[in-house]
Structure 1
C-alpha cells in the first residue's frame, strides 16, 4: 500500500502496520531462539541455543542494505507514468523500489511460513481464530477418537533378563537363584537357556557343542546359533513375554557376539544383524554379565570340556574382552559383576537391580474390584 497509494495518511497507516508486524515477528523470533531457563539443567544440556547476536546482525545488515540499495534503485527506476485507459497513474521511483521490496518480502514470508508451519494442511485463518479462543483447531472429519481402555485383566508386557559371561562364571547358578527368588515373590517365571531350549534347539546344541563335530565353518557355527535363537524366541521367549511372564535366560545374543564375533575374530556387526533378524529385534531388559578370568572359570568346570570350552586360552580371553566391550557400549542395559566374589553377594546385587525393572505382580485392574468387597467392621 505504501508503494502504490500516493496518499500520506494511507502511507502512515500502512507503515505503522508494517512496524507492528515486524515487532511481533522480532518478539516471536527472539523468544524461539532464547536459551532454556537457567534452572533447567537437562534442557540446557540438550539444546544449544543460537547466539542472540545472530538475529541482531541479520536485522542490522538488512537495514544497511535497505538504506544503501533503495535510494539508488529508486533513482535508477525513475518516475513512470502509466496509462490506465482513461486515467493516468504516476508511479514514483521510490514507490517502484518499495514495490520490489514488498514482493521480495512476500516471497521470503511465504518461504518462512512453509518452513515454520507445524500443522501442514490446516488452514491458517481458522487456526488463528481457534488460537485466539485458546483452542486447537481440528479440521472437519479429523476429530480425535478416544482410545479404548484396555481390559482390566490385561497385564503389562513381561520382563526379559539374560545372564551372560565366560565359561565357569556361574551364569546358570545365578539365573536359577534369580528365578527362585522371583517365584517366591509371586511372579510367573520362565527359565530357559541357549542353545537347546526347544526340541530343534537340542539337536543344534548337540552339533554345536559335541567335540566330535569337526570341520564346522565359522559362518555355519554363527548361523546355527542364530537358528537356535530364532526358534527359541518364537516358541519360548515371545509367548512368555506376551502373557506377562518374566523370562530368565542363560545366554542370549551377546554370547554369539562375544564368542563367534570377538572370539572367532569375525565381523561383529554382521553377526549382530543376522541375530537381530532372527529374533525380530528382541533385546533383554537387563543383561547380567558375570566376569571371571578364563583360567579360573575353566578350572571350575566339573564335567569334561565341550567343543567351545576346549578352545585355547587366547580365544577365551578375546571372549571376555568382547563381553566387556558390549557392556561398555550399553551400560544402562548391563549389570557387570565380578564373579569371583561370594555367591550370596552376587545374588543380592542381582536382586537389587532386578527390582528396578519389575512390574506389579498383581494383575492390572485388581484394585478396581475391591469396592465390591464387604466392609469389615468391629463387632
Structure 2
C-alpha cells in the first residue's frame, strides 16, 4: 500500500511542476476542464469536472463526475451526481449526495454532511464523519465517527470507533492493534485479524512473498524473452558506453510529464478522444514494462558475448531483486521509467529522421 501511495504522489508532483505551462480553463459539451495553480469552481456544472492544480476548491452542484489531482483539494457541495475520484496530499470532502468516493492521499477527511453510496480510501490518516452504504479503506490511522449502513472493511495500524460511530453491516478489520471501540460495540461484533508488525526486512522472506516473487520473476522473464525476440533489432541495439544515459533520463522526464497531459487534452477535445485514450493506454503499458526492458539492457551490458537468453535471465533477475529492497526499489523503478522512456523516444526520433 505504501508503494502505491508513493507512485500516486510522484504523479501528483509531476503534475504540479508542469501545471503552469499548461494552464487552461475550458468548457466542452457541459464538461469543465481546469488546469492551473489555484482553482476555484464557482458555478454549477452540468457535466464532469476535471481539475489539476496546486489548490483546488469545488463548492457547487456538479452534474457528473469530479476527477481531480493536486496538493490540497476541498470539495463542499450539496450534490455531486456522479462519482468523486481524487489524488492529493490533503483531501477534504463534504458533499450532501454523491455516488462513489475514491481517494488516495496523505490525509483524508470526509465531513459529516457527506452521503455516499460507497467510499474507497487509501491514505496515511483517515477521518470519516459522514454516511455511506459501504466503507473500504487502507491507512495507518482511521477514525470512524459516522454511519456505515452496510459493510466496513479496513486494513490499518490503528482504528478508532467513536461514540457517534454506527456500522449496521459486517465489520472486518486487519490491523496490528486491536480496534478502539465505543460503548455500543464489542470485539464479538468485529471480524478481527491481527497483523504482525515485523520490520520490512524480515517480511521480505515470508512464504507468500517468496511465491509472489517467483511468479513475478517468471512472468517478467517470459515477457522479456518475447520483447527481445520482437524488438531486438529496433530497441536493444544499445550504446554500451552509456555516454547518452543522462540525455535519456532528461528526455524520459520530459515525456513522463508531457504525455499524460497531452492525452487528457486530446480526450477533452472530444474529436480526438480515441487517440488520447490509445496514447494513455500505451503510456501505461510502456511504464509497466520499463523495469523488464531495463533488465534486458543490463543483461546485454554484463554478458555482452553470451547467449541472449542468459542475458535476459540475468538482467531481469538483478532488476527484480533490486525492486525487493525497501526505499531503493522506488528509486530503481523511477530511474528505469525515465531511462526507458528516453531511450524509446530517441529511437523513434532516429527512425523518423531516417525516413
User: Structure 2 length normalisation: TM-score?
Assistant: 0.22
From the two aligned structures, give the one with the greater strand fraction.
Answer: 2
| Structure possessing the higher relative contact order (Cα contacts under 8 Å, 6 or more residues apart) | 1
User: Structure 1 length normalisation: TM-score?
Assistant: 0.21
- The structure whose Rg is larger is 1
From the two aligned structures, give the one with the greater helix fraction.
Answer: 1
